[in-house]
Structure 1
Amino acid sequence: MPRFAANLSMLYPQHEFLDRFAAAAADGFEAVEFLFPYDYSANELKQRLSDNGLVQALFNAPPGDWAAGERGIATLPGREDEFRSGFDRALEYAAVLGNTRVHVMAGLLAAQSDRARHHGVYLQNLAYAADQAGKAGITVLLEPINTRDMPGFFLNRQDQAQAICKEVGATNLKVQFDCYHCQIVEGDLATTLRRDFDRIGHIQIAGVPDRHEPDQGEVNYPYLFELMDRLGYDGWVGCEYRPKGDTSTGLQWLRDWKAR
């Protein structure tokens, strides 16, 4: 059975962020993930993990100015030093929190005519990140994001991200397979999961099209969960969705799956 991690950036919105760790543990989660840890000290977050018997599965490297609309800087020309210092900071947090996965957001592409230049910067930054992360036993993740939720994002398709990983050539550089984003952009989830399985480093789920619980919408998640088991996936599956109502009540899908 897949192992599920609560995404605390989305689940339990009725609680303050630091109180979401206890809420997730109370609902039976054994791991958590979230977007960014940097508003809190690493030791403070580690204490929340320890107090609630939780594993840190994943977080993102610094994305630039999130409040101003930036969604990653890994592809942005002229921001290389900022990216590298930010990634080094992410590794410092990972050393305390214990996660072996760090997601690097690519960033927005203002014009397709700039793609080649951004691509070159991306390869250089990813090579740096993979090299530094490799020394700590950490995998760097790339995530394609759909064009509806994040117009202009540099990465949109799984095959595009896989090709970039091959160009960089680092064994600890893998793709984050977000079923929600993949379904919106390209569909054919089971075939894509099978095709790319060896280079997938993390999986996330949400209902499509509204990004609510995974039992809402058009995707047959029980089928995909069984496929993950057949493929031998032993990583965490991040529950990165917006609860339609109360988070705990909405977890009936998980209780039903565990009872199978």
Structure 2
Amino acid sequence: MRRRNFIKNLSLSGAIASIAGGASVSAFAKVNKPSNTFNLDYAPHFGMFKGHAGEDLIDQLKFMADQGFRSLEDNGLLGRPIDVQNKIGENLEKLGMRMGVFVVDGGDNWKVSLTTGKKEFVDTFVKTCRDSVEAAKRVNAKWATVVPGFFERNLPMGIQTGNVIEALKRGAEVFEPHGLTMVLEPLSDTPELFLRYSDQSYAICKAVGSPSCKILYDVYHMQKNEGNLISNMEKCWNEIAYIQIGDNPGRKEPGTGEINYLKVFEYIDSKGFEGILGMEHGNALPGIDGEKALIEAYRKADSFKS
């Protein structure tokens, strides 16, 4: 096993905290926290700590747990072989960790535009939702990311929105019996995409009217598209089921850009959030030193209760 005294190699301060209150959503079930855990439940992704842990996915997962992270995010889970999915799930359970989002895309979600209302696109989406249920069972996942696809210039905005709502209702019918929630992610980096704003996502979730259709609020994308982060999160809070992190500009760890993550995390904690915050960003610096700096950045941004 290639864990190589990871704790010894990192001179990082610990943080001991507890999250108060129970959760009304089963996906927010509490997990035991190690002594060096964070106040909030941040989820790294594979590759983020391979300087310390090497290329092996399970060694990376164990390193994450050693550092006090309690969850994993793996956008590409659906494309991994079934035996690898099973292995990830088994080790998450052993380590007392949760699974964050994976992407419902079948490898090509950008080309399946639910905005068009085309039957073949909707059928592909529903099939991928069914495949996602099976993958979710292997890793005990509770959330899966959905992107409705490209803006359709030949259709009025209201028609596109109606098409998206109808398709998402079909997806919700697949997910609801299994306790799996699709989380809609408004994005910024590809301007041709249909879903871009938190209020737009909120209206769609309300129209779908299912506990299996909620918002993935990516702080990086929303800072770029609309700003006013805490106020906009507050307006949409009862439809937000999952949060992702990335500073702007650069899409790196907290503290590398303009976002005051100390205040953002303090707000999220004040709402009693017991879900997962996916670390959807790159490392600002390369190698082991960059990985140490990333963990220290989270210790600092997470210190709102110290």
Q: Same fold (TM over 0.5)?
A: yes
- Contact 2:196–2:225 (8 Å) recurs in 1: yes
Once residues 173 and 87 of structure 1 are traced to their aligned partners in structure 2, the CA distance between those partners, rounded to angstroms, is 12
- 5+ long unaligned stretches in structure 1: none
Report the counterpart of residue 248 of structure 1 in structure 2. Answer: 292
Which of these two proteins has the greater Rg computed from alpha carbons?
2
Q: Aligned to 2:43, what secondary structure does the other structure show?
A: strand
- Contact 1:63–1:71 (8 Å) recurs in 2: no
Q: Aligned to 2:241, what secondary structure does the other structure show?
A: strand
Report the counterpart of residue 36 of structure 1 in structure 2. Answer: 76
Q: Of residues 12, 20, 27 in structure 1, which corresponds to 2:49?
A: 12
Once residues 74 and 110 of structure 1 are traced to their aligned partners in structure 2, the CA distance between those partners, rounded to angstroms, is 9
Q: Of residues 96, 102, 106 in structure 2, which corresponds to 1:59?
A: 102
- Contact 1:11–1:247 (8 Å) recurs in 2: yes
Q: Aligned to 1:251, what secondary structure does the other structure show?
A: helix
* Mean CA deviation greater in 106-115 or 76-85: 106-115
Once residues 185 and 80 of structure 2 are traced to their aligned partners in structure 1, the CA distance between those partners, rounded to angstroms, is 23
Number of aligned residue pairs: give it: 254
Deviations 1:2-41, CA, capped at 9 Å, x for gaps: 2211133x62365437243233223221101121212221
Once residues 95 and 112 of structure 2 are traced to their aligned partners in structure 1, the CA distance between those partners, rounded to angstroms, is 31
Show the 5 A alignment for 1:27-106.
27-37=67-77, 38-41=79-82, 42-65=85-108, 70=110, 73-76=113-116, 77=118, 78-106=120-148
Once residues 95 and 154 of structure 2 are traced to their aligned partners in structure 1, the CA distance between those partners, rounded to angstroms, is 46
- Contact 1:74–1:122 (8 Å) recurs in 2: yes
Once residues 4 and 118 of structure 1 are traced to their aligned partners in structure 2, the CA distance between those partners, rounded to angstroms, is 34
Identity %: 27
Q: TM-score, normalised by structure 2?
A: 0.76
Report the counterpart of residue 190 of structure 1 in structure 2. Answer: 230
- 5+ long unaligned stretches in structure 2: 1-38
* Mean CA deviation greater in 16-25 or 190-199: 16-25
Report the counterpart of residue 23 of structure 2 in structure 1. Answer: none
Once residues 249 and 103 of structure 2 are traced to their aligned partners in structure 1, the CA distance between those partners, rounded to angstroms, is 24
* Mean CA deviation greater in 38-47 or 10-19: 10-19
Once residues 93 and 113 of structure 1 are traced to their aligned partners in structure 2, the CA distance between those partners, rounded to angstroms, is 34
Root mean square deviation, CA, Å? 2.2
Deviations 1:201-232, CA, capped at 9 Å, x for gaps: 11111111110111111110111111112122
- Contact 2:126–2:174 (8 Å) recurs in 1: no
